[in-house]
Amino acid sequence: MSSNLDLVHGLYRAFAVGNIPEVLGALAPDVQWTEAAGGPYGGVSIGPTAVLENVFMKIGGEWDGFAAVPSEFVEEGSTVVALGEYRGTYRATGKSFRAPFAHVWKFANGKAVSFHQYTDTAVHLQPMQG
């Protein structure tokens, strides 16, 4: 059985190569996915389908080379924190950004039951402004 830390590593690897079905498959049916308020996709999505529609499809449709690159992980019980950097180029403006992130993942029974994003939303929004 994989540890929660192994699961998180796998999620970032899958996201990096565009394997969104694998990412969604690691989420609990009632996952609570929270994007930072004030950010481009801010709010809470419940369930993998909502995450796909409210976050991943928008990222895929609006950004070139969007990446969430983790550099450090901290595990405590059923929680894994990933620290890293976002980067990407907003298609409509051609502007790029880099912003730090902290992601807090919580697991139960081998599935992610919650995800909470912390990032500099002002930096993330800059390339989206013409």
In a domain, 46, yes or no: yes
Instruction: Centre a 10 Å sphere on the Cβ of residue 101 and count the other Cβ atoms it contains.
Output: 18
Max Cα distance, the chain (Å): 48
Our count of domains for the chain comes to 1
Tokens of 42: 């801010």
As a whole number, mean pLDDT of residues 12-23 equals: 96
**Structural domain boundaries enclosing 105:** 4-61+72-83+101-119
In a domain, 92, yes or no: no
Helix (H) or strand (E) holding 62: helix 57-62
Instruction: Centre a 10 Å sphere on the Cβ of residue 77 and count the other Cβ atoms it contains.
Output: 8
Q: Is 115 within 8 Å of 15 (Cβ atoms)?
A: no
Give the span between the Cα atoms of 121 and 10, in whole angstroms. Answer: 25
Q: Is the pLDDT of residue 15 over 70?
A: yes
In a domain, 126, yes or no: no
In a domain, 95, yes or no: no
Q: Taking the model in full, what pTM does it have?
A: 0.95
In a domain, 127, yes or no: no
Distance (Å) of CA 4 to CA 20, 65, 111: 19, 27, 8
In a domain, 34, yes or no: yes
pLDDT-based confidence at residue 1 (cuts at 50, 70, 90): low
As a whole number, mean pLDDT of residues 115-129 equals: 95
In a domain, 19, yes or no: yes
Q: Is the pLDDT of residue 116 over 80?
A: yes
As a whole number, mean pLDDT of residues 52-79 equals: 96
Distance (Å) of CA 56 to CA 40, 43, 72, 79, 107: 12, 14, 23, 23, 20
In a domain, 67, yes or no: no
- The CATH number given to whatever domain includes residue 111 is 3.10.450.50
